A and B are shown apart, each in its own frame.
Chain A
Amino acid sequence: MKSTLSAFVLSALALALLAAWPAAAQDVQQKLEAAKAAAARNQQTLRSYSWLEKTELFLKGELKSTKVEACQYGLDGKVQKAPVVEPPPPEQKRGLRGKVVAKKTGEMKAELESAAALAQQYVPPDSGMMQVVVNAGTASIAQAGPEALKLTFPGYVKAGDALSLTFEKAIKTLRQIDVTTWLDDPTNTVALKVTMLALPDGTSYPGQITLSISKSNIEVRITKTNYQKLAR
């Protein structure tokens, strides 16, 4: 998602932890400083790479379109994308069938936009909202494998949702973000999964992002690969 994801998440997490567990405050404060410095370095290093971003749209498990873009950071600090492979223009169908297809496409597009807007309420996580969950006493920490910790914040935006952050044990590196929420009714669930990967020099990046909407059976997969150092 955003390249500053780790910094936001770690700051927010530390603030929440500080308030919740004062005894651990000093230790967490140190970890926070280290994490922020690491995140800033990571962000700077990431700017020296170009990569490919593949966006796939699945409907009922069937791949409907694939788009590949070449990406790199511009001088303005924003990611610049240039299309490499674009999906072919949709076949224009006439008559009633054409109208049905156009209506379905419009609905799907609207639903995807709503889901994307909803996802933005969760990523990057907000410290204030995490604090609310911590104060309510519903936040939990659990082992997620031998070297990982998973922090879960249920009811983060609305009842029935959950935001989970998985870190390596020293809480320096974010490994994964999982969001489970719903769109217009609790049965229409939306799931977002961001998997952080690392380059050999330690630079981490969101390697795989998956957004799925259960009711309409839509899934969007964004994969970032082919990282290459740019000439200085």
Chain B
Amino acid sequence: MKRIIASVASIALVVASADPLLAQRSRGSVSHSGGSTTAQGAYGGSASRNVSQTGSGYNVNKNVTTASGASKSVNKDINTQDPSVNRTSTATNAWGQSASRDRTVEGQGGYATVSGSATTSTGRAASAEGVAGRNAYGQPAYAGTVNTKYNGNYATAGAKNPYGGWTTATAGPYGGKVTTTLPSGYRTSTYYGRSYYTYGGAYYRPYTYGGMHYYYPVPPPYYAYYSTPPVGAMMIMVAGVAYYMGKEGSYSKQTTSSSGTVVYQSVPAPAGAKITVLPATRVLVTVSGTTYYLASNTFYRRVMQGAQESFVVVTAPAGTVFVAALPADFTVVQLNTMYFETGGHYYVPFLATDGKEMYVMVDQPPVPAGGAPVPAVAPSPASASRGTQPAAAAPVPETAVRAVSESLTVPSGTLIVARLATEVNVATASVGDRFQGFLDLDLATNGRLITTRGSHVYGRVTAVDRSRRVVSVALNDISVGGHVLQITTLPFSAPGGVIPAQAPQPFTLAAPFQVDIMTNVAVR
């Protein structure tokens, strides 16, 4: 929705920048010729409008260019026989950023169907469809859905008020999307020593698949703060405390910040909370013959009271299979939420209440109408061929897995490629100065993934020689699975006495270090 607002705002800016142009028409020139009108602004802006008759209606073409270089062009095909209107427009600001929109309105007798899409040069995209007409009071009204590239899907409706203005309602988002690029303007936050990427209220975590980096949507990490409750949140009272459950199933509660303002904090779901409708992103987890529902790191059990169905928050049932790391051969399946599939088992990401990032083995997702689950991103040939088989017929291995802790040694000589958060400059640095950064590449050794790209690293300046313009730094700590481990790397120095921020730098491990990672083993 923010993107739509941004698009509208950018168009409004273009229009706003065109206003002075229109005001100065009297000092410029206006000419008419047949169906064309051309206006030339006194300070270099121009506007033109061309209307021509077509076989089935009219075509209107408008172009506005401002002196600053911003422009907007609109092409409208009006079919008076269908009737329908096709409208395409492109707005470009003075910095070359553009937004293109495409909209089709078809009259259906009494109401109209509207479908369209919008893309921006910065990579954002959305599509929408809905209906528009007049409500019982004769006011214009619309209802429809918006599907955004980064922020999930929204349902939206609105009607014009009799005395001006609009009343609108929006529900969503329903599920973020797996993406290879984060939207411009995203922010990085750290929880439990891990990086989360946020944009428009959605949180993402990185993962690597087939050598490519992706980002998958996750529920907000626990103890993140918001200034307002999540969009469409529902209040649930548990033991006299009010909780707010967002549409995607995350819980938060009201608290007070250190400055005394009211804020909302993401918290683990309170056991015993009862809801009647499960979030759309729920998955099924069957343990010892009982099926539970899992949504946003929360387990629910179905309860029937007479004919009334409800779902109660429960702790993770004993026997649930949690794994700390997935084998490298997983594939990604995007249905109502994102699943990782490996060895015939399906997993979803899970954030434990103590901040441990894990995966839960869940039931095979239901087959959507029209076929088997489709891998969302870059499927391997093997998984693609599996995808053509009916999922119900796919044999599910009976092997169970359980998570065990494994101690690994990361040998000396291992490369740690990291980006520094701030520049280290020989002119200002002193020996002992601390800095932090984050991994630019997954840290792997001996065929095993130790920690993912984005994990935090911490280091110090080890040497400064201003006469030779040499500054050396080394890493002291690394965050692995929420734990900060001490490491020793060889001093690293860059030519010119400057180690720039946000540029990958190679650090070589000078001494081995031990790390305990969870791994899944087969139980027969």
Q: Which residues of A contact B (CB under 8 A)?
A: 49-50, 52, 54, 66, 68, 70, 72, 84-85, 88, 91, 199-201, 223, 225-232
Q: Which residues on the B side are within 8 Å of A229 (C-beta)?
A: 328-329, 447-448
User: From residue A178, how far is it (CB to closest CB) to chain B in Å?
Assistant: 20
Instruction: Give A139 to B277 CA distance when docked, in angstroms.
Output: 81
Contact B447 A54 (CB under 8 A): no
Q: Which residues on the A side are within 8 Å of B447 (C-beta)?
A: 49, 199-201, 227-229
Q: What 3 A-B pairs have minimum CB-CB distances, sorted nearest first? A: A228-B444, A229-B328, A232-B329
User: From residue B242, how far is it (CB to closest CB) to chain A in Å?
Assistant: 44
Task: Indicate if B413 sits at the interface (CB-CB under 8 A).
Answer: yes
* Chain B: CB-nearest residue to A65: B495
Knowing that A85-B504, A226-B441, A231-B211 touch, tell me 5 more A-B residue pairs with CB under 8 angstroms. Answer: A68-B506, A226-B415, A227-B446, A228-B448, A231-B328
Task: Indicate if B339 sits at the interface (CB-CB under 8 A).
Answer: no
Task: Indicate if B496 sits at the interface (CB-CB under 8 A).
Answer: yes
Instruction: Give A201 to B448 CA distance when docked, in angstroms.
Output: 11
* A interface SS class: strand
Q: Which residues on the A side are within 8 Å of B329 (C-beta)?
A: 229, 231-232
Q: Which residues of B contact A (CB under 8 A)?
A: 209-211, 328-331, 380, 382, 413-415, 417, 440-449, 494-496, 504-506, 508
Q: Which residues on the A side are within 8 Å of B382 (C-beta)?
A: 232
User: From residue B412, how far is it (CB to closest CB) to chain A in Å?
Assistant: 10
Neighbour of B380 across the interface among A84, A88, A232, CB < 8 A: A232
* Chain A: CB-nearest residue to B445: A226
- A199, A223, A226, A229, most chain B CB atoms within 10 A: A226
Q: Which residues on the B side are within 8 Å of A72 (C-beta)?
A: 211
Q: Which residues on the B side are within 8 Å of A199 (C-beta)?
A: 446-447
Instruction: Give A84 to B439 CA distance when docked, in angstroms.
Output: 12
Q: Which residues on the B side are within 8 Å of A228 (C-beta)?
A: 328, 442, 444, 447-449
Instruction: Give A160 to B188 CA distance when docked, in angstroms.
Output: 60
Instruction: Give A85 to B442 CA distance when docked, in angstroms.
Output: 14
User: From residue A53, how far is it (CB to closest CB) to chain B in Å?
Assistant: 9
Contact A226 B328 (CB under 8 A): no
Instruction: Give A91 to B494 CA distance when docked, in angstroms.
Output: 13
- Beyond A52-B415, A66-B506, A230-B328, whether A225 also contacts B209 by CB under 8 A is no
Instruction: Give A82 to B448 CA distance when docked, in angstroms.
Output: 21
Contact A85 B506 (CB under 8 A): yes
Contact A225 B417 (CB under 8 A): no
Instruction: Give A199 to B445 CA distance when docked, in angstroms.
Output: 9
Contact A85 B505 (CB under 8 A): yes
Instruction: Give A159 to B443 CA distance when docked, in angstroms.
Output: 46
A sample of 27 cross-chain residue pairs with beta-carbon separation below 8 angstroms, ordered by A number, consists of: A50-B211, A54-B415, A54-B506, A68-B417, A68-B504, A84-B417, A85-B417, A85-B504, A85-B506, A88-B494, A199-B447, A200-B446, A200-B447, A225-B414, A226-B443, A226-B445, A228-B442, A228-B447, A229-B328, A229-B329, A229-B448, A230-B210, A230-B328, A231-B209, A231-B328, A231-B329, A231-B330
Q: Which residues on the A side are within 8 Å of B328 (C-beta)?
A: 228-232
Instruction: Give A201 to B137 CA distance when docked, in angstroms.
Output: 75
User: From residue A145, how far is it (CB to closest CB) to chain B in Å?
Assistant: 21
Total contacts A-B at CB 8 Å: 74
Instruction: Give A201 to B328 CA distance when docked, in angstroms.
Output: 15
Q: Which residues on the A side are within 8 Å of B413 (C-beta)?
A: 223, 225
- B211, B448, B508, most chain A CB atoms within 10 A: B211
Q: Which residues on the A side are within 8 Å of B380 (C-beta)?
A: 231-232
Contact A52 B441 (CB under 8 A): yes
* Chain A: CB-nearest residue to B413: A225
Neighbour of A227 across the interface among B441, B444, B506, CB < 8 A: B444
Neighbour of A226 across the interface among B210, B444, B496, B505, CB < 8 A: B444
User: From residue B182, how far is it (CB to closest CB) to chain A in Å?
Assistant: 20
Instruction: Give A230 to B212 CA distance when docked, in angstroms.
Output: 10
User: From residue B149, how far is it (CB to closest CB) to chain A in Å?
Assistant: 24
Q: Which residues on the B side are within 8 Å of A88 (C-beta)?
A: 494-496
Neighbour of A225 across the interface among B210, B415, B442, CB < 8 A: B415
- B209, B330, B506, B508, most chain A CB atoms within 10 A: B506
Instruction: Give A91 to B443 CA distance when docked, in angstroms.
Output: 32
Contact A227 B417 (CB under 8 A): no
Instruction: Give A84 to B443 CA distance when docked, in angstroms.
Output: 14
Q: Which residues on the B side are within 8 Å of A230 (C-beta)?
A: 210-211, 328
Contact A226 B414 (CB under 8 A): yes
Neighbour of A231 across the interface among B210, B443, B506, CB < 8 A: B210
Neighbour of B417 across the interface among A52, A200, A223, A232, CB < 8 A: A52
Neighbour of B445 across the interface among A54, A85, A223, A225, CB < 8 A: A225
Instruction: Give A144 to B413 CA distance when docked, in angstroms.
Output: 25
Instruction: Give A72 to B444 CA distance when docked, in angstroms.
Output: 14
Q: Which residues on the B side are within 8 Å of A68 (C-beta)?
A: 415, 417, 504, 506
Instruction: Give A7 to B329 CA distance when docked, in angstroms.
Output: 28
Q: Which residues on the A side are within 8 Å of B441 (C-beta)?
A: 52, 70, 84, 226
* Chain A: CB-nearest residue to B441: A84
User: From residue A144, how far is it (CB to closest CB) to chain B in Å?
Assistant: 22
* Chain A: CB-nearest residue to B342: A231
User: From residue B130, how far is it (CB to closest CB) to chain A in Å?
Assistant: 39
Instruction: Give A124 to B344 CA distance when docked, in angstroms.
Output: 43
* Chain A: CB-nearest residue to B381: A232
Instruction: Give A223 to B506 CA distance when docked, in angstroms.
Output: 12
Instruction: Give A82 to B32 CA distance when docked, in angstroms.
Output: 59
Instruction: Give A49 to B211 CA distance when docked, in angstroms.
Output: 10
Q: Which residues on the A side are within 8 Å of B417 (C-beta)?
A: 52, 68, 84-85
User: From residue A3, how far is it (CB to closest CB) to chain B in Å?
Assistant: 16
* Chain B: CB-nearest residue to A82: B211
User: From residue B343, how far is it (CB to closest CB) to chain A in Å?
Assistant: 11
User: From residue B283, how far is it (CB to closest CB) to chain A in Å?
Assistant: 22
Q: Which residues on the A side are within 8 Å of B415 (C-beta)?
A: 52, 54, 68, 223, 225-226
Q: Which residues on the A side are within 8 Å of B506 (C-beta)?
A: 54, 66, 68, 84-85
Instruction: Give A194 to B443 CA distance when docked, in angstroms.
Output: 24
Instruction: Give A154 to B270 CA distance when docked, in angstroms.
Output: 77
Q: Which residues on the A side are within 8 Å of B508 (C-beta)?
A: 54
- A49, A54, A232, most chain B CB atoms within 10 A: A232
Q: Which residues on the B side are within 8 Å of A226 (C-beta)?
A: 414-415, 441, 443-445
User: From residue A199, how far is it (CB to closest CB) to chain B in Å?
Assistant: 5
User: From residue B497, how far is it (CB to closest CB) to chain A in Å?
Assistant: 12
Instruction: Give A49 to B496 CA distance when docked, in angstroms.
Output: 36
